[in-house]
Homo-oligomer: A and B are copies of this chain.
Amino acid sequence: MQKTKLIDFPAIKTACSRCSLQQLCLPQGLNSADMERLDQLVKRPRPLHRGEYLFCQGDRLKSLYAVRSGSFKTYSLGEDGNEKILGFHLPGELLGLAGLGHGEYRAAASALETASVCAVPFDRLQDLADHLPSLNHQLHKIMSQRISRDQEVLLLLGDKSAQERLATFLLNISSRFAERGFSAREFNLSMSRQDIANYLGLTLETISRTFSHLQKDGALEVDRRLIRIVDRECLANIAGACFTDASSATH
């Protein structure tokens, strides 16, 4: 029985030890002196365990974070105490962007499993970006990608059925795994049914039922949090027009 947690994959360390640098620099290709300067900014705080906070809603903005291993959820909590999950963050992805304009974090981030991050002090990043246009453009790019990704979620929550939402969610997660060099076909979800339900605007019972249903239809094999995508075609049809990227990396 496969009990592998994300963090146990050996490829993680290779893929993500310099993940914040990759995120910020890869496309523009800073020269090595500039890379060096950026590298010096990056801190590696101790790993966090499941449920621990990376930051809380309203904390003063200190750093942007890039996930090195494990995964996080970000959520905002209304004063009635209940949380609304805004997103899940896999290795290589950035946390804290929404705070840039406000000087404080707009949501809380907590680890879904044992997880580690790179921290990039915000003010020093900003200073550096002022002198490195390519870094700066990359920042713009990342932020606007975030905007359009959030807008895709709006699309999702707009008027889609439970099946469409879950199928879209799974394909999304799958392709994010694939981007980082993991299997797009089989993976462990690090979040609970409750978390998925919250994120998709449904209840955990509906998520559970929908998993069962997708399994009965032969699109998935579900063993608790281990998901195997059996019929990607079928899943994509159910998801609707949202996802068409083949992500044929099914190693």
Using a CB–CB cutoff of 8 Å, the interface residues on chain A facing chain B are 76, 78-80, 84, 86, 97-102, 106-107, 126, 129-130, 133, 136-137, 139-148, 150-151, 153-155, 157-159, 198, 201, 240-242
Contact = CB atoms under 8 A, between A and B. Distances in A.
Instruction: Give the number of times this chain occurs in the complex, counting copies.
Output: 2
Contacts of A240: 78, 80
Most buried by B among A80, A86, A126, A198: A86
20 contacts: A76-B155, A78-B155, A86-B151, A97-B147, A99-B144, A100-B140, A101-B142, A101-B144, A102-B144, A126-B137, A140-B143, A143-B143, A143-B144, A147-B147, A150-B150, A150-B151, A150-B154, A154-B154, A157-B157, A157-B158
A145 B102 contact: yes
Given A151-B98, A157-B201, A241-B78, A136 B144 contact: no
Most buried by B among A106, A148, A241: A148
Q: What 4 A-B pairs have minimum CB-CB distances, sorted nearest first?
A: A100-B144, A101-B144, A101-B141, A78-B241
Contacts of A137: 126
Given A84-B159, A100-B141, A101-B145, 6 more contacts: A76-B155, A80-B241, A129-B136, A140-B143, A150-B154, A159-B198
A251 B110 CA distance: 44
